[in-house]
Amino acid sequence: MNVTFLQSVFQYDGELMPNDRFLHWIGERRAAVKVEIEQRRFDQLQKWGFNPETGNLEHESGRFFSIEGIRVRTNWGLVETWTQPIINQPEIGFLGIITKRFNGILYFLMQAKIEPGNINYVQLSPTLQATKSNYSKVHQGKSPLYLEYFTGEKPATVSLDQLQSEQGARFLKKRNRNIILEVTGDVPVHEDFCWLTLGQIKKLMGQDNLINMDTRTVISGISFGTFPLESIELFRQFVQPSVGSGDDGKRMLLSALDDKRSRSSIEEIISWITGLKSKYELEVSRIPLNGVGKWVKTDTEIHHEDHKYFSVIGAQVHVSNREVTSWSQPLVKSAQEGLIAFIIRNIGGVMHFLVQAKIEAGNFDILELAPTVQCLTGNYRKGQSEYEVPFIQTVLEAPEDKILFKTMQSEEGGRFYREQNLNMIVEVGEEFPVDVPENFQWMTLNQLYAFIRFNNYLNIQARSLLAAVAF
């Protein structure tokens, strides 16, 4: 399977839907839909309301998600204890992509999907986004398209199937099941769907707000195998396209495919994680939303008394394309845009990523591996932040030719209101110290892929940014 993925990632354009045609196609999809979002008072939301006992914001069916409270206690950072609202969505989501070989090349079946919170409404999503109830057919309603491949009713081979986390600062221990299937038989291509290579998807991440978060998390789980040096050299000479060739391309390819030339061994990295998980405590208890201090509930929003972090608003959504639909729902609105960045550096001829062990309240297991820099914009305006953000100046002051990747990427448009974060990958030179603070670690791509396979090691921001890495 690894080689099939590798072949597909080397295809920066695709025969079934060439890049030029794709941009026209997605433009058409966007033109074909009209979305209106109006902010509403909470008491105007249909089927949503505050629980009289707890103050939690809930759907009348008890389904979907709710806004609840948590009390956090930790010995990490400067603030020892706080309360905050959090999204509780205990149901596991299913994010699935169908793949199929055409002329030997693996293509991914992608969907132009509307989500109300998206800045541009339509982004490219996995073949299937379903809830566990959809998946297990608890409800008798209309099935999502292509569900039958994921339930085993139609034949398919599983290439990847992982449980992965969502934003730990916003969701309470939420996880999604990320699946990639390979199908050999005919697959109907419904309207709003198209076939793209893995290389195309990664290339399209170079555009702002096009590849949605669910797509990014699913493709971030793809690893490309481990090969001996001679095979990697062979790939480089004969297979790797010119885009990533030269010494830079070699360093990145080695980083992905070699498991011998890393600064730290996997055992050392596990020991580093074990040490930090033993040192830091994170105690999270669920509390009623009306027990959350320092947050204010008005008729129209729930916000922090200093208007920091995020707020919860009520929205009325109207979508019209082939049919017209309309519904109410709460959306989470970030107080500022954020910055998500990896610093990378050549160490011994292999590209290494500077990873941060980060504690967030909703984390499943205390800490997850995060990008070098992950913060709200407010945190790096001097004097406005409760803590320093290490390495932020290196990212913000990087010269143009050292910025390998820089785009705006959206968070999930089903929960978040027009939230986008600046995603960057910045290369540093020999002058950048190899010795880093205790909660940072240099890792190769091959090592990052090894950890991604197992539950809850890399956070969604790290995975999202790694999804962009091509070689």
Q: In the bound complex, what is the minimum distance in angstroms from residue 340's beta carbon to a second copy?
A: 25
Asked whether the beta carbons of 66 and 289 are under 8 A apart, the reply is no
Asked whether the beta carbons of 113 and 107 are under 8 A apart, the reply is no
Q: CA of 264: how far to CAs of 272, 356, 367, 451, in Å?
A: 10, 15, 19, 14
Residue 95 engages a second copy in binding (rule: CB under 8 A): no
Q: In the bound complex, what is the minimum distance in angstroms from residue 78's beta carbon to a second copy?
A: 20
Comparing CB distances to a second copy, the nearer of 33 and 450 is 450
Residue 79 engages a second copy in binding (rule: CB under 8 A): no
Q: In the bound complex, what is the minimum distance in angstroms from residue 158's beta carbon to a second copy?
A: 5
Q: CA of 70: how far to CAs of 80, 93, 100, 162, in Å?
A: 14, 22, 44, 27
From 21, 24, 73, 132, residue interacting with a second copy (rule: CB under 8 A): 132
From 275, 288, 293, 349, residue interacting with a second copy (rule: CB under 8 A): 275
CB atoms within 10 A of CB 272: 17
Residue 268 engages a second copy in binding (rule: CB under 8 A): yes
Residue 326 engages a second copy in binding (rule: CB under 8 A): no
Comparing CB distances to a second copy, the nearer of 4 and 44 is 4
Residue 266 engages a second copy in binding (rule: CB under 8 A): yes
- Window contacting a second copy (CB under 8 A); options: 86-94, 199-207, 234-242, 424-432: 86-94
Residue 218 engages a second copy in binding (rule: CB under 8 A): no
From 159, 336, 409, 446, residue interacting with a second copy (rule: CB under 8 A): 159
Residue 358 engages a second copy in binding (rule: CB under 8 A): no
- DSSP β-bridge partners for residue 158: 181
Q: In the bound complex, what is the minimum distance in angstroms from residue 101's beta carbon to a second copy?
A: 18
Q: In the bound complex, what is the minimum distance in angstroms from residue 87's beta carbon to a second copy?
A: 17
Query: Which residues, other chains included, contact 91 with Cβ-Cβ below 8 Å and sequence gap of 6+?
Result: 63, 131, 132, 133
Residue 145 engages a second copy in binding (rule: CB under 8 A): no
Asked whether the beta carbons of 263 and 53 are under 8 A apart, the reply is no
Residue 92 engages a second copy in binding (rule: CB under 8 A): yes
How many residues make contact with a second copy (CB under 8 A)? 31
Taking CB under 8 A as the criterion, which residues in 443-462 touch a second copy?
453-457
Comparing CB distances to a second copy, the nearer of 102 and 454 is 454
CB atoms within 10 A of CB 297: 17
C-alpha to C-alpha distance for 83 and 293, rounded to whole angstroms:
6
Mapping DSSP to helix (H, G, I), strand (E, B) and coil, where does residue 276 land? helix
DSSP string for 164-197:
EE--TTTBSS-EEEEEEEE--S-----TTEEEEE
Q: In the bound complex, what is the minimum distance in angstroms from residue 455's beta carbon to a second copy?
A: 7
- Amino acid in the structure at residue 164: Q
Asked whether the beta carbons of 355 and 269 are under 8 A apart, the reply is no
From 109, 160, 204, 218, residue interacting with a second copy (rule: CB under 8 A): 160
173-202 mask for a second copy (x: CB under 8 A)?
----x-------------------------
With 0-12 CB in 10 A as exposed, 13-18 as middle and 19+ as buried, what is 156? buried
Ramachandran sector of residue 338 (left: φ over 0; alpha: ψ -120 to 50; beta: rest): beta
Comparing CB distances to a second copy, the nearer of 364 and 440 is 364
Q: In the bound complex, what is the minimum distance in angstroms from residue 161's beta carbon to a second copy?
A: 3
Chain position carrying tokens 């580093």 = 272
Tokens representing 121? 């409404």
Comparing CB distances to a second copy, the nearer of 239 and 270 is 270
Residue 163 engages a second copy in binding (rule: CB under 8 A): yes
Q: In the bound complex, what is the minimum distance in angstroms from residue 137's beta carbon to a second copy?
A: 13
Residue 161 engages a second copy in binding (rule: CB under 8 A): yes
Asked whether the beta carbons of 63 and 55 are under 8 A apart, the reply is no
- Window contacting a second copy (CB under 8 A); options: 87-95, 211-219, 327-335, 458-466: 87-95
- Window contacting a second copy (CB under 8 A); options: 231-239, 277-285, 301-309, 345-353: 277-285
The secondary structure of residue 142, as a DSSP letter, is P
Q: In the bound complex, what is the minimum distance in angstroms from residue 357's beta carbon to a second copy?
A: 14
DSSP string for 234-266:
HIIIIIS-GGG-HHHHHHHHHHHH-SSS-SS-H
C-alpha to C-alpha distance for 125 and 228, rounded to whole angstroms:
35
Comparing CB distances to a second copy, the nearer of 92 and 296 is 92
Asked whether the beta carbons of 384 and 307 are under 8 A apart, the reply is no
Q: Contact residues for a second copy (CB under 8 A)?
A: 1, 90, 92, 94, 132, 136, 158-163, 177, 266-268, 270-271, 274-275, 277-279, 281, 364-365, 453-457
